[in-house]
Structure 1
Amino acid sequence: MLLRRMLIMLGVVALVVLALAAYKGFAIYQQVQQFSAPQPAISVAATTASEQPWQSRLPAIGTLKAFQGVDLTVEVGGIVRELLFQSGERVVKGQALLQMDDQVERANLATAEAALGLASVEFERGRSLVSRSNISKSEFDRLSAERQQASASVAQVQAQLAKKRILAPFSGSIGIRQVEVGDYLSPGTNIATLQDLAKLHVDFFLPEQAVPKLALGERVRLSVAAYPDEVFEGEIAAINPKVETTTRNVQVRATLDNPDGRLLPGMFANLEVLLPGAATQVVVPETAITYTLYGNSVYVITEKRDADGQPEMGTPGQPQLMVERRFVETGERRDGRVVILDGLQAGERVVTAGQLKLDNGAHVAIAADPADASAPAGAGQ
């Protein structure tokens, strides 16, 4: 009886073990089938590398400066008697801007002119007398020197008087005045700034390697933060004949018209020097490039082929596509595009979105629209 029960228990245990073994074997079989099954195609966005005319440009940053610009100051001290301009108005060359008190100088001028008149009369009298030998030649020379000295004194006082009246050295827009009537001005006091805004300079620096590419008259395009959607054009007017020893950069100055006066001196400018000639280059979107420390690469889309070199067909009857990771040499980047100097030919298709999911030889399918690529891939670009 006891032996029978033991045999039954052993049979039940054997059945349970066999059932568990069968279940585990079936699970392992399913996993093997899953891994051996072909992986689904990875959806990516793609474009074709194309040859396009590409004009080389030298990017730089610069600062706008007035074609002519000065801070008006006084050369001699005195009290302001009249202010003859309004802040922000446009003035013309030679226009009076400020008059200082000049009563002392005018009195000195009258004295000097009187002395000059007397010296001139004595000189004329002496000239008639010396011709008749009534005075010595040395006495006549003394009278001539006195007349010249009196004339110089008049010119000196006239120059001092002129310094009491400030005139515009050139036409332009005058800034906010810094003085008022009645102020005492010491020499060097700032009155206002005067800027000629009809034309502007933009000064910028380029590395010394760019010197052979630079020439007077080359076009420059620039933009400023105040007008982000507008592009202003000028041309190179001067190249500094010396390279800065601290930065190894050369200073360049371009000139541009400013007829509306919208650009102001001191503005920060992003600019590009347009180099002559436009060579044909292989160009792809910048999103197609994977940048790494050990080199830049692209994923080139090719047809998968069998051992006989024939394209393998997919389920819809189209050739299966795969990607090949290829390292390339990149050149200039501009407006979301990049030049490929080596490693890629025109007409080859490259992946522009979805690279994070790819590896060399991965099976891919080209999405009808870049938006069809997965969100994580797009977020990683």
Structure 2
Amino acid sequence: MIDAARTDGPAAKPRRRLLLPLLIAGALAAGGVAWKVTSSHDAVSPAAASLPPAERAVELSPVELTRMAPRRLTELVRLSGSVKPMEQSMVKSEVAARLVEVPVREGQAVRKGEVLARFDTVELQAKLDEKLSNLEGAKAQLVLADKTRAKNLALRQKDIVSETNMDQAQSTFRFQQATVAALEAQVDLARKALRDAVVASPIDGTVAERAVNPGETLAVNAKMFSVVDLSRVEVEAAVPADDVARLKPGQTVRLRVEGFGERDFSGQIARINPMARAGTRAIPVYIVLDNADGALRGGMFAAGDAVVDEVEGAFALPPAAVRHDQDGDFVLVVSGGRVERRKVEVLGAWSRGDLVEVRGLADGDLAVTAPLPGLTAGRAVKVVDS
């Protein structure tokens, strides 16, 4: 151990002498770099600090601004309901008889007057013949009563018959007159029953329901067919009372119907029910739509919007863009790299308060629409990409 220390001692001294200058040179170089950085920082900071805060440009992103352009504003009320035919006829039996023919089925198009069914007319014809015979007998009795009355009148003038006989003859004549009139009415009813044995469609349309079959004996007023006209349909929509006040007949409604994708159907409000539905407090509103192609069917669900108000060429902003001070309403507009105060007049709210229509802005104005309380007129701004 002692020999090794002795051997290394002389060699270590020259190495220490070489390392010392190197360490000194490195320390000086590091100090010079630090001095340069500090000097550069001290040279820039006073210039930046000398810029007043009010002159520093506020950076605004495009989402905080709106380029003004005239637009169409519409106020809408949401509507939904089921499609119903405008005209629907329930065909019922007018006679008590047996059906012998039913030539139509559900879904078949029919014209007004087209035969839907036929009844057996044997019994109906027999009843008519009976009424006609009774009528002929009554007419013969009326002729006899008239002759008897005339004879009694002539004899009474000669004072051959009593006043009582004359009154009796007159009464018999009038009774026979009433009997003839009653039998004539019965004959008319029998003829009508014979005509009603042929059941015809009362309207142009489509057979929606067939409730009878050949061979059935029906009573009077029995349900037979339902015929609907789909050329015009209506939607019955239940609207909350708060929205009904803004609706009126004639307003345009745009509807979409399940099963038709993005196809729009245009209609108009035809009527508004004066009574609210019990339990819901909603008021039925009836919308009429033309359906010339027959695409819409009863029972389909439709939903859309009624245009209750509309204006063209308007300027509108979110409510947060309109500011207020002692001088009134105004909007901040970016022009020439600075914010300007632009006085405006608020004309009304649209889209349930999401937009306000204003007067005082021009096409192309760049309005600040973001809620930036610290931004004031005269400030320098810079629009940057987000």
Q: Distance in 2 between matches of 1:81 and 1:205?
A: 45
CA apart distance, 1:191: 3.3
Give SS of 1:246's match.
coil
CA apart distance, 1:126: 2.8
Give SS of 2:261's match.
strand
When the two chains are superposed, the root-mean-square deviation of aligned CA atoms in Å is 3.9
Structure with more strand by fraction: 1
Verify the 8 A CA contact 1:331 1:341 in the aligned structure 2: yes
2:172 corresponds to 1:139: yes
Gaps of 5+ in 2: 1-58, 154-165, 319-332, 339-348, 376-382
Aligned equivalent of 2:354, options 332, 339, 348? 339
Give percent identity, aligned residues only.
23
Q: Distance in 2 between matches of 1:82 and 1:47?
A: 76
Verify the 8 A CA contact 2:74 2:350 in the aligned structure 1: no
Match of 1:213 in 2: 246
Tell me which amino acid in the other structure corresponds to 1:236: I
CA apart distance, 1:131: 2.9
Verify the 8 A CA contact 2:64 2:369 in the aligned structure 1: yes
2:124 corresponds to 1:105: yes
With the length of structure 2 as denominator, give the TM-score of the two structures.
Answer: 0.59
Give SS of 2:234's match.
strand
CA 63–50 in structure 1, closer or farther in 2 if over 3 Å, else same: farther
CA apart distance, 1:201: 1.4
Match of 2:31 in 1: none
CA apart distance, 1:178: 4.0
Verify the 8 A CA contact 1:46 1:366 in the aligned structure 2: no
2:316 corresponds to 1:282: yes
Structure with more helix by fraction: 2
2:54 corresponds to 1:48: no
CA apart distance, 1:169: 1.9
Match of 2:112 in 1: 93
Tell me which amino acid in the other structure corresponds to 2:285: V
CA apart distance, 1:261: 1.0
Verify the 8 A CA contact 2:317 2:369 in the aligned structure 1: no
Match of 1:193 in 2: 226
CA apart distance, 1:103: 2.0
Q: Distance in 1 between matches of 2:68 and 2:225?
A: 57
Q: Distance in 2 between matches of 1:189 and 1:147?
A: 32
Tell me which amino acid in the other structure corresponds to 1:282: A
Verify the 8 A CA contact 1:281 1:339 in the aligned structure 2: no
Give SS of 2:145's match.
helix
Aligned residues: 275
CA apart distance, 1:156: 3.5
Q: Distance in 1 between matches of 2:209 and 2:290?
A: 24
Match of 1:65 in 2: 84
Verify the 8 A CA contact 2:112 2:204 in the aligned structure 1: yes
Aligned equivalent of 2:145, options 126, 129, 139? 126
Verify the 8 A CA contact 2:76 2:309 in the aligned structure 1: no
Give SS of 1:259's match.
coil
Tell me which amino acid in the other structure corresponds to 2:245: P
The one-character-per-residue Cα deviations of 1:360-381 (angstroms, maximum 9, x if unpaired) are 99xx9635xxxxxxxxxxxxxx
Gaps of 5+ in 1: 1-40, 285-301, 304-309, 312-329, 352-359, 368-381
Verify the 8 A CA contact 1:281 1:340 in the aligned structure 2: no
Give SS of 1:233's match.
strand
Larger Rg: 2
Moved more, 224-233 or 184-193: 184-193
Give SS of 1:53's match.
strand
CA 245–65 in structure 1, closer or farther in 2 if over 3 Å, else same: same
CA apart distance, 1:113: 1.0
CA apart distance, 1:348: 4.1
Tell me which amino acid in the other structure corresponds to 1:225: E
Verify the 8 A CA contact 1:64 1:203 in the aligned structure 2: yes
Match of 2:235 in 1: 202
Aligned equivalent of 1:156, options 189, 194, 202? 189
Aligned equivalent of 1:171, options 177, 200, 204? 204
Give SS of 1:242's match.
coil
Give SS of 1:241's match.
coil
Matches within 5 A, 1:221-240: 221-240=254-273
Aligned equivalent of 2:304, options 271, 283, 297? 271
CA apart distance, 1:88: 2.6
Verify the 8 A CA contact 2:232 2:290 in the aligned structure 1: yes
Tell me which amino acid in the other structure corresponds to 1:218: Q
The one-character-per-residue Cα deviations of 1:284-313 (angstroms, maximum 9, x if unpaired) are 7xxxxxxxxxxxxxxxxx99xxxxxx99xx
Q: Distance in 2 between matches of 1:44 and 1:158?
A: 85
Moved more, 69-78 or 247-256: 69-78
Match of 1:314 in 2: none
Tell me which amino acid in the other structure corresponds to 2:72: P
2:279 corresponds to 1:246: yes
Q: Distance in 2 between matches of 1:99 and 1:83?
A: 7
CA 129–283 in structure 1, closer or farther in 2 if over 3 Å, else same: farther
Verify the 8 A CA contact 1:49 1:350 in the aligned structure 2: no
Tell me which amino acid in the other structure corresponds to 1:239: I
Tell me which amino acid in the other structure corresponds to 1:54: L
Q: Distance in 2 between matches of 1:217 and 1:154?
A: 50
CA apart distance, 1:139: 1.3
